[in-house]
Amino acid sequence: MTLALSKDIQTGALSAVDLVQKSVQAAQTENLNSFLWLNNSALKDAAAVDARVAAGEKLPLAGYPLAVKDNIVLSGMKATAGSKILENFVSPYTSTALQRLINAGAVVIGKVNCDEFGMGSSGENSAYGATKNPRDHTRVPGGSSSGSAAAVAQGLVSGALGTDTGGSIRLPAAFCGCLGMKPTYGRVSRYGVIAYASSLDQVGPLARRTEDLAALLEVMSGHDPMDATSLHAPTDFSSALTKDIRGWKIGVVQEALASGNSAGVLGALEATKAALKDLGATVEEVSLPSLANALAAYYLIACPEASSNLARYDGMVYSHRAYGSDLNEVMATSRGQGFGGEVKRRILMGTYALSSGYYDAYYSKALRARAMIAADFAKVFLGVDALLLPTAPSPAFELGAKADPLEMYLTDVDTVAVNLAGLPAISIPFGYEENGSYSNSNGLPIGVQFIAPILEDTRLLTISAQLEAYSKAAFLQPVQHL
């Protein structure tokens, strides 16, 4: 599959250099704090793509301007994961997912902002300052892939890579008004992705068109010998775009509707249900009783894994190094200076939950809850093809509005269960909230979320393509088109 844009480059109607030049310019002058580090060789890389095309190579992503979350490494560029502790880290290698995209002709415009190590829901936990929501600069873009979603929705790039441990692709996609997909766990290699919680982390694409998601996934997914958890699975995603959803059964998760959703979110769900019916699907209510435990289980699994993964930042091998009179002081001071408040909180919670005496009460119980959640999903998928629920209970909130960490964690209530069960899920923009009610034309973007069974990622692309064609208006146009 070759994207329309890349086809133009293949036929010579457009040059990769011209396209990338526009994107670089947009990234240089953006005012959202989405880009952290620009790729100085973007134009040279684009010229190399033009040369490969001229030599007759067929490149499915020829000249595709791409932003990359700063926890995914690219050789020769900084990779800070939004943390001060990695402020001077320049990666000596490139992640598998990104290398595959580059080989297919994509051009990295730069590395984009994120919550430190992916820990956050608003983009405010970055050591390099918060990113702003392109639709309203007083609001958060969502996190942790804040820069990825803001850059895509603003039209600074065509697509972006994010990572999703508990909603970090879907939530910012919903808040900014673009598409964001978290593939089945293991679909995309994690080699070269700075680890947060390894049993939950997954790389995925953000874009404004479903065909972009399919093209990016098709190129970057598939087994990688460098990641033992990556799957041997077919990687045909583009054929999903021409299918329809006639006769499909979509289950609406009742527990996610119970309380706390804003009027705009409820309106978006109703509009989506009506669209699905018009497109030939049937919609029914389903129940996932263990969903109520998902948030607690998620934080009791993610924090312990993070506390272990982040032990490597000790100022010895790499990462920020402070002065001290002995080894312990060097390590403690380096970590004290380098990590931000939220990361420290999670390391403390994680080591506590893993410590002897508390392991059984917290960590091991959370693992059991995780198994129950996965079993609940498996059961419900015996009766339906996909699930529908909100991506978040509300549209983007104001910068600084959620100072209480617990309140911030509640933003993830609709997204974390997916990661615990390893399932694929997508957030699709479907309307707006304006003055406290649903609008199909104006206001803050609202995302609706679909979940599919393991390895049925293509169902999500079919639903997305169908909804995109059904309601062009709900798919936001970028602020400045690229």
Question: Is residue 90 within 8 Å of 78, Cβ to Cβ?
Answer: yes
What are the beta bridge partners of residue 162?
204
Nearer to ligand GLN, 118 or 478 (CB): 118
Determine which residue in the list 60, 63, 105, 120 makes contact with ligand GLN, applying CB under 6 A. Answer: 120
Verify binding: residue 168, ligand GLN, rule CB under 6 A.
yes
Distance CA(172)–CA(144), nearest Å, equals 7
Scanning 24-32, 101-109, 166-174, 445-453 for contacts with ligand GLN by CB under 6 A, the matching segment is 166-174
- Nearest partner of 425 among 205, 218, 193, judged by Cα: 205
Distance CA(316)–CA(146), nearest Å, equals 30
What are the beta bridge partners of residue 445?
432
Please, what is the minimum distance in Å from the beta carbon of residue 191 to ligand GLN? 18
Scanning 1-9, 165-173, 323-331, 333-341 for contacts with ligand GLN by CB under 6 A, the matching segment is 165-173
Catalytic residue, chosen from 34, 121, 122, 168, is 168
Verify binding: residue 386, ligand GLN, rule CB under 6 A.
no
Verify binding: residue 340, ligand GLN, rule CB under 6 A.
no
Verify binding: residue 165, ligand GLN, rule CB under 6 A.
yes
- Nearest partner of 319 among 118, 94, 84, 128, judged by Cα: 84
Verify binding: residue 391, ligand GLN, rule CB under 6 A.
no
Report phi then psi at 313, rounded to 5: -85, 85
Nearer to ligand GLN, 146 or 458 (CB): 146
Chain centroid offset of residue 234 CA: 22
Verify binding: residue 424, ligand GLN, rule CB under 6 A.
no
How would you classify residue 351: left for phi > 0, otherwise alpha for psi between -120 and 50, otherwise beta? alpha
Distance CA(179)–CA(200), nearest Å, equals 20
Number of residues that bind ligand GLN (CB under 6 A): 13
Which 302-321 residues touch ligand GLN, going by CB under 6 A? 302
Verify binding: residue 412, ligand GLN, rule CB under 6 A.
yes
Residues in the chain: 482
Distance CA(451)–CA(474), nearest Å, equals 20
Annotated catalytic, 144? Answer: yes
What are the beta bridge partners of residue 203?
163
Please, what is the minimum distance in Å from the beta carbon of residue 278 to ligand GLN? 33
Question: Is residue 163 within 8 Å of 70, Cβ to Cβ?
Answer: no
Query: Which residue is closest to ligand GLN by CB?
Result: 168
Verify binding: residue 426, ligand GLN, rule CB under 6 A.
no
Determine which residue in the list 37, 196, 237, 363 makes contact with ligand GLN, applying CB under 6 A. Answer: 196
Verify binding: residue 119, ligand GLN, rule CB under 6 A.
yes
**x/- map, 213-252, ligand GLN, by CB under 6 A:** ----------------------------------------
Catalytic residue, chosen from 23, 34, 69, 121, is 69
3-state secondary structure of 427: strand
**x/- map, 57-86, ligand GLN, by CB under 6 A:** ------------------------------
Question: Is residue 184 within 8 Å of 178, Cβ to Cβ?
Answer: no
Residue written as token pair 């990338």:
20
Give the amino acid at 138: T
Question: Is residue 414 within 8 Å of 425, Cβ to Cβ?
Answer: no
Distance CA(10)–CA(238), nearest Å, equals 19
Question: Is residue 135 within 8 Å of 32, Cβ to Cβ?
Answer: no
Nearer to ligand GLN, 245 or 408 (CB): 408
Nearer to ligand GLN, 91 or 146 (CB): 146
Catalytic residue, chosen from 126, 144, 221, 334, is 144
For the chain, state the CA radius of gyration. 21
Please, what is the minimum distance in Å from the beta carbon of residue 298 to ligand GLN? 7
**x/- map, 356-385, ligand GLN, by CB under 6 A:** ------------------------------
Determine which residue in the list 33, 95, 121, 458 makes contact with ligand GLN, applying CB under 6 A. Answer: 121
DSSP string, 364-403: HHHHHHHHHHHHHHHHHTTT-SEEEEESSSSSPPBTTS--
Determine which residue in the list 60, 63, 110, 118 makes contact with ligand GLN, applying CB under 6 A. Answer: 118
Scanning 85-93, 160-168, 263-271, 368-376 for contacts with ligand GLN by CB under 6 A, the matching segment is 160-168
Verify binding: residue 144, ligand GLN, rule CB under 6 A.
yes
Please, what is the minimum distance in Å from the beta carbon of residue 147 to ligand GLN? 13
Verify binding: residue 339, ligand GLN, rule CB under 6 A.
no
Distance CA(59)–CA(130), nearest Å, equals 36
CA 171-172-176 angle, to 5 degrees, is 125
Which of the residues are catalytic?
69, 144, 168
Contact positions vs ligand GLN (CB under 6 A): 118-121, 144, 164-168, 196, 302, 412
